[in-house]
Structure 1
Amino acid sequence: MTESISPASAAPKPFKSSAISFSVIIVNYNGGAYLQAAVDSLKTQTLQDFELIVIDNASTDGSPDTLDLSGIAQARLIKNSDNVGFAVANNQAANLARGQWLVLLNPDATASANWLEKLQAASRRYAGCRVFASTQYCLDDPDMLDGAGDAYLIFGIPWRGGFGHPASKLPDTGLCFSPCGAAAMYDRELFLRIG
């Protein structure tokens, strides 16, 4: 399903069916071929209990125009007439989502086949946790970490923990300052309540 909207227009309506576990959100702006690779990685998930919401922020590279969403049972593409930015577009998708969990994925990232399955297992193992980070590997060199949750730096900003380190140095499961928005999972109810 493709919809075109402007930020001032009426918001699209959520899918009409029962709740699901995950609402995967991809916010795209000129993602090129990376966008299709991100979507294709979701087609092979071992856990298929998800919907996909792709929000395009007025890309000029044609990436949303050739996007193939076939193979994903519940997928929609929403084309904004303006670039409203990463945060606004994610909030837009969150308001449409019906999954228990909002799962963010950057358009230049690909998910391993068991990504959602592992996130589901983590949410069950750590039932009191409402926010989860994913291990991120460099797309061009999977032996290197792109991040393992964000750390708060002495400079006063969060940044990807483990960035640039060998994957063999991946820390054990544990607490981090925050997830990186490139591959994060949030409890939808909490996300919407906080606003």
Structure 2
Amino acid sequence: MNEKLVSIVMVNYNQERFIKEAIDSVIAQTYQNWELIIVDDGSTDQSVDIIKNYDDDRIKPIYLEENSHICIATNVGFSHVTGEYIARLDSDDVWEKEKLYKQVALLEEKPNARVCFTQVNLIDENGQNINEKESELLNLYNSRQKDRKDWIRFFFFIGNSLLQTLVFDRRLLEEVGNFNLAYCQSHDFEFLIRLIKKTDFYFVEEKLAKYRRTQTQQNSALTEQNNRRFFNEYMDIRAHFFEGMSDELFKNTFQDLFVNQAAETHEELVCEQAFLLSKCIGYSMENPILGMQKLAQLLNDGKIYPVLKEKYGYTSKKYYQDNTQKQFYTKKDEHMLDVLREENKRLKQENENQKNHVEVLIDLKEHQQMYIGELERELAVMKNSRSWKVTRPFRRVVRLVKNNSRKDLEK
């Protein structure tokens, strides 16, 4: 195989504990035609000293004077790449030695392949495998969609499940552009959306990277602030989701979900985009705000409004009616909905349990009535028997004796 140069971009900020292992995993690659562009984003720990200890011409460090965040730092790294392929490696993650070789081999063997991912193992701060402990997360990261169409739909309705194990054709960077500086936590996701609009994704289905899960990951720690920003970024990404997507790709991807299955013209497809945006979170209408914003634009578009009215029966009056509904559910609203759903589930179960209890009591009552009936029938038989009649005087004497004995005791 003609070994094309792979430019690896690594951004580092205060990862003195892990960066050496990350760099060493690059040096250990069986595929040796690479350059490692390390952008240190203003680290205040010993990271810079660790980087400077390496004497390898293929390692090309860039030291930023102050912290600027991963998007700016990555774009600085992108501006220095010279290879025909580009890879990214976070400074706390690790590659298996065959990773580059197998990915480049796939890209070279398949004429249409321009982007290639691998599976991952999960490790903790100490490098210990936590696949079993984090099995649900592992399955998500290593899950696959059937084809390009399903990846686009998954990104739009659900979100991202891919980690940055990709190696991609450098020319794609020129086509889709650098990281969007507006996104702090969702920059990878938004970049992948731009890639999938251009080309299909390919996979080496082997665990060739180790993704480290730590308690204090810089931008993805589970705090209320990060969760809120993450949700806001996801909503903004969806608001721009259809930009740069050809009508043909849009139609091929979403047509079975169209309000008007026969939609063909650009104007009709724009209307369909508005309706899809209304249910862009999990196919649900709980957050229709993006669709409403798009419809507000279309109502004032002299070319599209007639189509919206004639083909879809959607008028300004219908918009006014829709606009009386709640359009945006926050994380707190979502939590309250979950609480109410759980309470409703509990009450249903309790009601079912009570219903079962009542049924048991009714069944018990029926059995008791049957037993009493049997006793009454047996008693009637006994009373009509000759022995019962013959012993009647003796029973009367016994009752009198008992009554007299009781009176004597009371004196």
TM-score (norm 2): 0.35
State the number of aligned residues. Answer: 156
Q: Which amino acid aligns with 2:168?
A: Y
* SS of 2:168 mapped into structure 1: strand
Instruction: Note if contact 1:23-1:99 (Cα within 8 Å) is conserved in structure 2.
Output: yes
* SS of 2:17 mapped into structure 1: helix
Structure 2 CA distance for aligned equivalents of residues 120 and 56 of structure 1: 27
Query: What is the deviation of 1:157?
Result: 2.5
Instruction: Note if contact 2:16-2:50 (Cα within 8 Å) is conserved in structure 1.
Output: no
Q: Is 1:186 matched up with 2:168?
A: yes
Of residues 67, 83, 104, the one that matches 1:83 is 67
Structure 2 CA distance for aligned equivalents of residues 119 and 137 of structure 1: 17
Q: Is 1:39 matched up with 2:23?
A: yes
- How do 1:89-108 residues align onto structure 2 when only pairs under 5 Å count? 89-108=73-92
Query: What is the deviation of 1:123?
Result: 0.5
Q: Which amino acid aligns with 1:148?
A: N
User: Match of 2:129?
Assistant: 141
Q: Is 1:159 matched up with 2:161?
A: yes
Query: What is the deviation of 1:148?
Result: 2.8
Structure 1 CA distance for aligned equivalents of residues 15 and 157 of structure 2: 30
Structure 2 CA distance for aligned equivalents of residues 20 and 122 of structure 1: 13
Distance 1:127 1:85, change over 3 A: farther
Distance 1:42 1:131, change over 3 A: same
Give the RMSD, CA atoms, in angstroms.
Answer: 2.4
User: Match of 2:303?
Assistant: none
Of residues 56, 60, 63, the one that matches 2:44 is 60
Structure 2 CA distance for aligned equivalents of residues 57 and 109 of structure 1: 17
Instruction: Note if contact 1:133-1:149 (Cα within 8 Å) is conserved in structure 2.
Output: no
* SS of 2:11 mapped into structure 1: strand
Structure 2 CA distance for aligned equivalents of residues 33 and 149 of structure 1: 30
Gaps of 5+ in 2: 133-137, 145-150, 178-411
Structure 1 CA distance for aligned equivalents of residues 130 and 5 of structure 2: 28
TM-score (norm 1): 0.70
User: Match of 1:168?
Assistant: none
Query: What is the deviation of 1:87?
Result: 2.2
Query: What is the deviation of 1:90?
Result: 1.8
Structure 2 CA distance for aligned equivalents of residues 148 and 85 of structure 1: 27
Q: How much identity, in percent, do the aligned residues show?
A: 24
Instruction: Note if contact 1:94-1:192 (Cα within 8 Å) is conserved in structure 2.
Output: no
Structure 2 CA distance for aligned equivalents of residues 149 and 34 of structure 1: 27
Structure 2 CA distance for aligned equivalents of residues 44 and 88 of structure 1: 28
Query: What is the deviation of 1:20?
Result: 4.7
Query: What is the deviation of 1:73?
Result: 3.9
Distance 1:63 1:134, change over 3 A: same
Instruction: Note if contact 1:42-1:111 (Cα within 8 Å) is conserved in structure 2.
Output: yes
Distance 1:98 1:32, change over 3 A: same
Distance 1:149 1:65, change over 3 A: farther
Query: What is the deviation of 1:142?
Result: 6.7
* Cα offsets for 1:5-58 (capped at 9, x unmatched): xxxxxxxxxxxxxx9520011111111221110001111111100011000111
Instruction: Note if contact 1:20-1:98 (Cα within 8 Å) is conserved in structure 2.
Output: no
Distance 1:126 1:20, change over 3 A: closer
